[in-house]
Structure 1
Amino acid sequence: MARAIKPRVGMYENVKNQFEKAAEVMGLDESVKKILSITNNEIVVHFPVKMDDGSVKVFTGYRVQHNNALGPYKGGLRYHPTVDIDAARALATWMTWKTSLAGLPYGGGKGGIQIDPKQYSQAELERITRRFTYALGDNIGPEHDIPAPDVNTNAQMMAWIADTYMSTKSPSERSKNQHVVTGKPVGSGGLEGRDRATGFGVVVTLEAWAKLNGTTLEGKKYIVQGFGNVGYWAAHFMHKNGAILIGVQDATGTLYNPEGIDPEGLLRYQTENNTIMGYKNMEEYDSDKFFGIDCDIIIPAALGNQITEDNAATVKAKVVAEGANGPVDTDGEVILLEKGVDIIPDILCNSGGVIGSYFEWLQNRNGEIWSMDDVIVKLRKKLEDAFNGVINTSVQYKTDLRTAAYIRALSRIEMAYKQRGIFP
C-alpha cells in the first residue's frame, strides 16, 4: 500500500507549533498565552501604480502587527511572490520573539508586497514602494511600527519609504520622523555596519557554539543557502575565521567545490552576472541534494521551510545556523535533533539585523553618529549575552535550543503583562 502523502506544514503552523511547545514546557500563564496566540492588527492594502509603459497595475501589500507589549512593532518588508497574510503572520510573530530574546524595547511586525521585483524597473520599484508607504499611512511610525529591509528589499527602498513618510508630515515634524524605518543608506541616516549585521550575527553565534563545544571555526567546512545580504556576509566573516566554504545554493542553482569557494570572488562574479552559475572551477551540483553535502556547518540564509521531513535525514553537518527565518520546519527539526544535530534557532542566530536596526533607531532618535567599531562591539556583546542565556535556559529546562530561546523570549513578555495588567 502506498504511503499517504503528509500535507506540508506552512510557516505559520510551524510558528504556532514552536510556541505551543515552549509554552507547555515553561508553564506560560494562560491569559498571556491567549494574547500571544493571535496578532494585534492585520493590514491589507490594495494600491494602483503607473508602469513605465503608461499602464496601471494594482498591487497588494501587507503589514501584520503581532504584539507591542515591549515597545513599537519592528520588522522587515519583503518583496516576493510568496508574501501573503499567513507568511506575514508567521514572520511578525517570530519578530516578537526575536526582539524580546535580544532584550530590545520592541514588539514584532512584518509585511511586504506580493511581487517578483526582478520583473520591474528601478523607476517602477520606486513608485511601487512610495505608493505602498502612502497606502500604509499612519499604520507605521517611528514610535509605532518601524519597518526595515528583508528579502528583495534594500537600503535604497528604505530611503524611499522614509522620504515618502516624512513628506506627509508638516515641515516642523519631518526631521523627527527619520527613524520611521531602519536599514537606510548611511548618507540618509543609516547605521555604519547595518548591511553586515545579520550575517555577522550568524557567525558570532557559530563562534559561541564552537567555543561551547571546545573547538573553533578554523578549518570547518560549511555550505550556505542563499547568497544575498545575509549569506554573503556570513561567508565573509566565516572566511575571516578560517572556515572553508564548499557549497553555495541560490535561486539560480547550486555550486560545489570540496577544495573551497572564495566568497569575495563569488560575490564579484554574481554582481556582474546576476547568477552564481558559471563561476570558475565550480562543479554544478544537484540542488535537491544540497543539504546532504558532507560538511560541518549548514547556514540556510534564504527562505523558510527548506529543511523538512523530505531531506533532513540526509544532513551530515553537526550544526545548522538559521540565517533565514524558519528554514527548518517542525518535522525536519525532529529528525535533526534525533540525529544529534544542533540547531541555532533563527530568533537567536539572525537577530543581528534587528539589533543593528535598534542601534540605527537610537542613532536617529538621539541625533548621534555611531562608528563601525562601536556597532560591531555592541552587536557582539548583545549576541553573546543572548546565546549564553539560551544555553543556560536549555540546561535549566533540559530542552533544545529553540525551545529554550522561546522560553526566554516569552518569559520577558509574560513579565511585562503581569506587571502592567490587562486593560481595563
Structure 2
Amino acid sequence: MTTITAELHNRTKKKPIKGMMDNVMEQFYSAADHIELHPNIRKILSITNNEIIVHFPVKMDNGDVEVFTGYRVQHNNALGPYKGGLRYHPTVDIDAARALAMWMTWKSSLAGLPYGGGKGGIQLDPSKYSAGELERITRRFTFALGDNIGPEHDIPAPDINTNSQTMAWIADTYMSTRPPAERTANQHVVTGKPDGSGGLEGRDRATGYGVFLNIKFWAARNNESLSNKKFIVQGFGNVGYWASHFLEKNGAKLVAVQDAFGSIRNTNGINVDDLFNYTQVNNGSIVGFPEAFDLDNEKFFTSECDICIPAALGNQITRTNAPKIKARLIAEGANGPTNVEGEKILIDRGITIIPDILCNSGGVIGSYFEWLQNRNGELWQLSEVMSKLDKKMKESFDKVYDFSEKERIDLRKAAYCIAIKRIEKAYVQRGIFP
C-alpha cells in the first residue's frame, strides 16, 4: 500500500487536525452512548490490554548497527486471540498502534470472527533498506517480541509496506524458537504467508475484493449498476489495485489515482492492469504513466467521480478537503482514512461512507480462513475461498445496512454498535475475573 505526503495533516492553521486515536475514541463513545453500553464494559474497552515496545539492534550491510523501535498493541481479546497487521512506516508510533488495534477489535467482532484486536509495526522507511537488511530487521523484531505473539495468542498479518515475504520470515523465526516437536504446529502464528508456505490462495486480493463487494452491495441496495460508474483511488498498492481490478471487471471506470509519488487522471478511463504493470517497472510509482495526465495532489479529491476509495493511510479526508469531494460514496479501503470532522461534513452533504471496519474487513476474514486452513491441516481452492468471502461479507453488510436504516444512523455508527454489542454480550455471559 502507499500514501501521500504529510501535508494533508498540516494544512490548517487554526487548530490541529485530530489524530487517529482521537477519532477512534470519539467513534467508540458515540456508538457506546447509542447502545447504552454498560459503564464497566465501557471502561474496559476504552483502554488497551497490553502495549509492547521493543528496541533492538540490527547490523546493516555496511557493518554499522542501527537500533530500531517496534510496537505491538493488544487491545482486547474477549472474543479470541489478538489479530492485526504489522506495518513498516515512519508514522508508526504507540498512538497509531493503539488506534489501529482498537479498530481491529471492532472489525473482527463485526465480521463475527473469534478474534480480538492487535496492531503494531516498526518505525522505519523500508525504501531505505536492502532486502537483506529488511529480513534481518524482521527476524530480530520477531525474536524481540518473543511470546507476545503466538498462534493462539496474537496473530500478526501484513499491512502497509509488509507482505507475504515478511510474514514468511516471521513464521520461520518464530517456529525456529519453538521446541522441535512444536515447530510445524506453529505455522499459523501469522497469516498472509506465501502460498507455498502455508498461505491461503486468494489472500492477496481478499481486502480489495471485500472493498469491491461492499460497493457492489451498496449499489444493489440503491438499485444502481456499477457499469460506467467513475471511481478514484488513493493508494495503488494491494488494496487499491484489487478493488480497482474487480470494479473495472464490473464495468466501472477508474479516472484518477494518487500514491506516495503523485497523482494522475484520465477522464476517459485508466486501464487498471496497464497501470499496475507500469508500476512494476517504475519503482512502484504511478507517476509518468503514459495513458494519463499528471494531476496536482491538492486536486485529487476534487476529481469528478461517483465513488472515492481512500486506500492509503489514516486522516486523509479532513475538514479541509471534505467540502470539495464530489463522490456520492466513500468506500474506506484504508484504516481510518476519514477523520471525525471530515465525516460530519460528508454526512451533512448527503455522501455515504462505507466504514473501514466493514469495507476493508475482507483482509481479516481471509486471514481467519488461512488460520483455519493451517490449524486443520487443509488446503482450500481459490474458488472456495472467494465464495466463502462473498458470503461472509454479504452477511456483515446486510447487518450493518439494516441496523443503520432501523436506527436511522450512519453506517459507521451502525457498524460500531453491532461490533461493541457482541463484545458486551461476551463479558455479560462470562463475567469479569475475579
Partners of 1:283 and 1:262 in 2: how far apart?
A: 13
Give the 3-state SS of the residue equivalent to 2:67 in structure 1. strand
Counterpart of 1:141 (choices 143, 147, 150) is: 150
Which residue of 343, 351, 366 corresponds with 1:356?
366
Which amino acid is 1:130 matched to? R
Which letter does structure 2 place at the counterpart of 1:9? K
Deviations 1:213-237 (CA, angstroms, capped at 9, x unpaired): 1112111000000000000001110
Counterpart of 1:27 in structure 2 is 36
Partner of 2:420: 410
Q: Distance in 1 between matches of 2:80 and 2:250?
A: 36
Which of 115, 120, 124 is the aligned partner of 2:129?
Answer: 120
SS in 2 for 1:192: coil
Q: Does 1:336 align with 2:346?
A: yes
CA distance in 2, matches of 1:391, 1:301: 22
1:170 maps onto 2:179 in alignment: yes
Q: Deviation digits for residues 157-209 of structure 1, max 9, x if unmatched?
A: 00000000000011100011000000000000000000000000000000000
Show CA shifts across 1:69-126 (max 9, x none): 0000000000000000000000000000000000000000000000000000000000
Look up the match of 1:365.
375
Report the Cα offset of residue 155 of structure 1. 0.1
Partner of 1:161: 170
Within-5 A mapping of 1:23-422: 23-274=32-283, 275-422=285-432
Three-state SS of the structure 1 residue aligned to 2:233 is strand
Are the aligned partners of 2:21 and 2:99 in contact in 1 as well (CA < 8 Å)? yes
Q: Distance in 2 between matches of 1:218 and 1:103?
A: 31
Tell me the percent identity: 67
Task: Give the letter for the 1:332 counterpart.
Answer: G
Secondary structure at 1:224's aligned position in 2?
Answer: strand
Whichever residue aligns with residue 131 of structure 2, its letter is: Q
Deviation at 1:280, TM superposition (A): 1.0
What is the alpha-carbon distance in structure 1 between the residues aligned to residue 405 and residue 43 of structure 2? 27
Deviation (angstroms), 1:398: 1.2
State which drifts further: 392-401 or 179-188: 392-401
Question: 1: CA distance between counterparts of 2:38 and 2:390?
Answer: 32
When the two structures are superposed, what TM-score results if normalisation uses the length of structure 2? 0.97
Q: What's the secondary structure of 1:273's corresponding residue? A: coil
Work out the CA distance in 2 between the residues paired with 1:281 and 1:189. Answer: 39
**Aligned-partner SS, 1:70:** coil
Q: Distance in 2 between matches of 1:110 and 1:83?
A: 10
CA distance in 2, matches of 1:315, 1:126: 41
> Residue type matched to 1:28 in 2?
L
- In the alignment, structure 2 segments of 5+ residues that lack a partner are 1-11
**One-letter amino acid of the structure 2 residue matched with residue 84 of structure 1:** D
Moved more, 248-257 or 389-398: 389-398
| Alpha-carbon separation, structure 2, partners of 1:333 and 1:136 | 36
Partner Cα separation in structure 2 for residue 29 and residue 13 of structure 1: 21
Separation in 1, partners of 2:364, 2:292: 34
- 1:289 is displaced (CA, Å) by 1.5
Question: How many residues end up aligned between the 2 structures?
Answer: 422
Question: For each residue in 1:267-317, what CA deviation from the matched residue of structure 2 results, as whole angstroms up to 9, or x when unmatched?
Answer: 111010111111113111110111111100000000000000000000111
Look up the equivalent residue of 1:248 and give its one-letter code.
V
CA contact (8 A) 2:270 2:291 kept: no
**Coordinate RMSD, CA, aligned:** 0.8
SS of residue in 2 equivalent to 1:195: helix
Aligned mates of 1:24, 1:159 — CA distance in 2: 42
**Deviation for aligned residue 1:396:** 2.2
1:4: how far off? 6.7
**In 1, Cα distance between the equivalents of 2:426 and 2:198?**
32
Instruction: Give the distance between the partners of 2:410 and 2:244, measured in 1 at CA.
Output: 26
Relative contact order (C-alpha < 8 Å, sep 6+): which is higher? 2
Q: Distance in 2 between the 1:57 and 1:392 partners?
A: 52
